[in-house]
Structure formats: structure tokens, C-alpha cells
Amino acid sequence: MTHSNFLRERDIRFHLHSQTNPEALRRDGPIIIERGEGPYVIGEDGKRYLDVMAGLWCASLGFENERIAGVAARAYRSLAYYHSFSGRASPDAIDVAASIAQRVPIENARIYFATSGSEAIETMIKLAWLYFRGRGQPERRKIIARDRAFHGSTIFAASLTGLPHMHREFGLPLGGIVRVSCPDTYRGRIAGESEDQFADRLAAELDEAIVAEGPETIAAFIAEPINAGAGVIVPPDTYFEKVRAVLDKYGILLLADEVVCGFGRTGEWFGCQAMGMKPDMMAMAKGLSSSYFPISAVALTPEIYEAIDAANAHGTNFGHGFTNSAHPVGAAIVREVLAIYDEMNLLERVSRQGKLLRERLSEELSDCSIVGDVRGRGLMAGVEIVEDRNSKAVFAVEKAVPAQIERMGMDYGLMLRPQGNTVTFCPPFIVTDEQVEEMANKVGAILREISSL
Ligand code: PMP
């Protein structure tokens, strides 16, 4: 038996994959990735793929990095583990907390570390509950989340997520979640409506939902500045300003899910800065360490921190924490990743490469009959596939067009991961002009081929 077949059989026999059709895995076997080379990943058969999605919207510096390897090795040699409970900290964790606090658009922010996006999201929810209990409003428990949102896979984060396939088999969502519309300017607007009018309508919907539920029962509203998983949905420019005005009227907190948008992805340090969103808390992960270590963070305002202080008077020492919160090796890696971002002139680079990507995609796809919309911000883009441009009708699910695009991508040497009917782009920040060109040319060829079938 070849080594390749050996791996394949063992994977099928022993490994339960995330978001994978088990029948397809048993039939086709796994896609085994062995090495990284800048923004490319290399399969165990030696085939190279340009990973258009930086893995799962995360490997911002690509798939190998000598500097980070050196830093991680040194960190493991000097302190391979320590924690943040009972006042413990490593020098790098302290340094990174300060450096994140100084970057986020929350004045005098405090930083809490966790290990995944989902944990950071759940930490924000617990902090929102703690905050309102501290203010004598313990009945404020409900969280407003949006349709088509993705906020993670743990029980409450999955409940906040607005995707039926994340709920169906698990009896989710849990109670206490109020759902409002996704600000999709391509599909959500009514004829003749400007983006600003659309934002007004969404703000009015939010206001009505709050009044219907009872404002005194609502703790927070959670949103991604740009909704990645729904297909890179960029809200109207005035959306968050109007949402914030409604929330302020009722004293509701605004929580930003910066798990994808944070750390340069939108061309600003944080997506909330790109979209005019003024949050009370922010959850960060992925780009924070370029996913070179499972580490995430939450930034909170001084008012929320004061509530933690006040709660301590009742004898609680902030009863929350993960074994690997503020892991010293993770912190050392984040510290170096942030140093690399600073040295590479990140925001300018992301804005320039992102503009080039969107321009090239628009040129390639302008005459492609199955492309309904090309959109994005920074180095995040979405190309929405439709069967009919005028009616915006989508292909029947049985035609499995997204799976076909993904398969053809691999034939062309591109690792694609369409989100529903949208081909999404979130490449590593290190992509060169030639690699942007490669993505646009190949996706253009794939979509033209599908449109001619
Ligand atoms: N929020 C957003 C916007 C995400 O895209 C993700 C992961 N794709 C999460 C939260 C959850 O992160 P994790 O998988 O690290 O728990």
C-alpha cells in the first residue's frame, strides 16, 4: 500500500472532520495538505494550490513563516505553558494585551484572552450579562443577532449564528435570541431604494423588534462589521451609525465580532473602523495570530471592566477563564505577528491589493452571465453566482454549483471555499500582484466555463 493510500484509509477510518459530508469523504477520501509555501499549500501528491481563503479566513501571513517558527521555538524553550488565573501572566501576554488595547478603537480598553473565536464571542455575552447584573438590571439577558450571521460553533455562539444548517440537528438555537435582517444591499433592498434608505428601514426594523421584545429584557446586539460567512456582505455606509442610535435609545450594548475583519482585513486595523461601527466590546481571533496559534481576545470598555470590579464585592473573582487563556507561546507568536504587520505597512498593502483584486474580478467577470454581484472591502471579496442576472434567481441546490466551482478550482490549482452561492476571497496579505492576477484569471475561466455548460 502506498503511503498516500495508507493516510487516506486511516483518515476515513479514524478522523471526524468539521463540516464535511461523511459519505463524500468515504467515497473521495480527504484532501491531504502537507506543506505551505507563502500563500500556497501543497498536497501530499505534490500539487500546489493558491489558497484564496487563507484557510478559514485566517492565515493572514500565509502557510509558513521562518520568523514565527523561530519565535515559537524560543518561546517553547523558555516557558512552554502558563496561565492567567489568580493574577498570573507571562511578559509576552502583558505586552500583547497592551499592544492590542492601544490598537482597538475603544479608549482605555482592557483585553481578555481566550483560545478560539467562539470562546471570545461567548466571553462577550457573559460580560454583557455581568455588566447588566452589576447595574441592577439582571433581566437584561436577550441578545439580538442577525439572519445569516456566523458567530461560532459552541452552543451559544452557534445559537447566535443565523444559519439553519448550524441549528437543525442540534435543537438550536437556545432561547433568548432576537433575530433581525442581514444588511444585504444586493438582495435585501426593495426597488428604487437607496442604500441609505435601506439602512433606515433596517434601523426601524431593529427598533420595532426591541419594542416588541421589551427593551428592559435586552442586553446586546452582536454583528460582524462585514458579514464574511454569508458571502462578504458589506452593509450600507450609514448602517452601523443608525443601528447605534437605536441601541443608545434603549441602553443596549453593541458587540463587534471582529474574528474575520480584525487585524487589517478590511484595510483598517478593525472592521468597525472601516464601517463606522462604535462597539462596546470586540471579539478578535484568526488574524490576531494569523492562526499560527489558537488564541483569541476580547476588548472591553472601562465601564464593563468596572462592573467586573463591582461584582467582586459579592465575593466573585470573575468566575470565567480557559486553561489556555493568555498562553505564553500564543502571546509570543501574536507579538511577532503584530511586529510583522507593522513592518509590512499592512493597511496600505491590504487596501492596494484588495482594490486590485476587485478591479480584476470586475473586469474578468463583467460579461459572465452567472455573476450577479462583485463586492468587498480590503482583501475580502465576494462574487455572487446567479442563474439569471435580472431576476437574481439562484441555481437549484441539486445542481451543486458551489461544489462544482470548488472542484474545478482544485483542477486549476486554486483552493476555493464558496459560501453558499458566493465565491469568497480572503487571501493571505502577502499575495503579490501576480498572485492576485492568478486568482482573478482562474476564477474568471472557471465561471465562464460553468456559464457555458
Ligand atoms: N465569528 C466569525 C465571524 C467567524 O468567521 C468564526 C469562524 N469562522 C467564528 C466567530 C468562530 O471562530 P472559531 O472557529 O475560532 O471558534
331, 95 Cβ separation under 8 angstroms? yes
Tell me the Ramachandran region of residue 111: left when phi exceeds 0, alpha when psi lies from -120 to 50, beta otherwise: beta
Q: What CA–CA distance (Å, rounded) separates 310 from 134?
A: 7
Q: Give the number of residues written for the chain.
A: 453
In CATH terms, the fold of domain 31-64+345-451 is: Aspartate Aminotransferase, domain 1 (3.90.1150)
Q: Closest Cα to residue 161, out of 253, 223, 74? A: 223
Supply 326's cell numbers: 493568555
Max CA pair span of the chain: 69
CA-nearest residue, atom 13 of ligand 1 = 117
CATH architecture, domain defined by 69-343: 3-Layer(aba) Sandwich (3.40)
Question: Does 173 sit behind a cis peptide bond, omega within 30 degrees of 0 on the bond before it?
Answer: yes
**Tens-binned pLDDT, residue by residue, of the chain (453 aa):** 888 899 999 999 999 999 999 999 999 999 999 999 999 999 999 999 999 999 999 999 999 999 999 999 999 999 999 999 999 999 999 999 999 999 999 999 999 999 999 999 999 999 999 999 999 999 999 999 999 999 999 999 999 999 999 999 999 999 999 999 999 999 999 999 999 999 999 999 999 999 999 999 999 999 999 999 999 999 999 999 999 999 999 999 999 999 999 999 999 999 999 999 999 999 999 999 999 999 999 999 999 999 888 887 777 789 999 999 999 999 999 999 999 999 999 999 999 999 999 999 999 999 999 999 999 999 999 999 999 999 999 999 999 999 999 999 999 999 999 999 999 999 999 999 999 999 999 999 999 999 987
Pocket of ligand 1 (CB under 6 A): 56-57, 116-118, 121, 150-153, 224, 228-229, 257, 259-260, 285
Predicted model pTM:
0.98
Q: Which of 268, 259, 281, 207 is nearest to 57 (CA)?
A: 259
End-to-end CA distance of the chain: 39
Instruction: Give CA angle at 280 (275, 281), nearest 5°.
Output: 90
Given ligand 1 and candidates 19, 286, 380, 419, which is best to mutate, with the most ligand atoms within 8 Å of its CB? Answer: 286
Say how many Å lie between the CA of residue 109 and the centre of ligand 1: 22
Which value does ipTM take for this structure?
0.99
Q: How far is the CA of 309 from the centre of ligand 1 (A)?
A: 29
Show me where the domains of the chain are located: 31-64+345-451, 69-343
Could you tell me if 295 and 119 are in contact, meaning their C-beta atoms sit under 8 angstroms apart? no
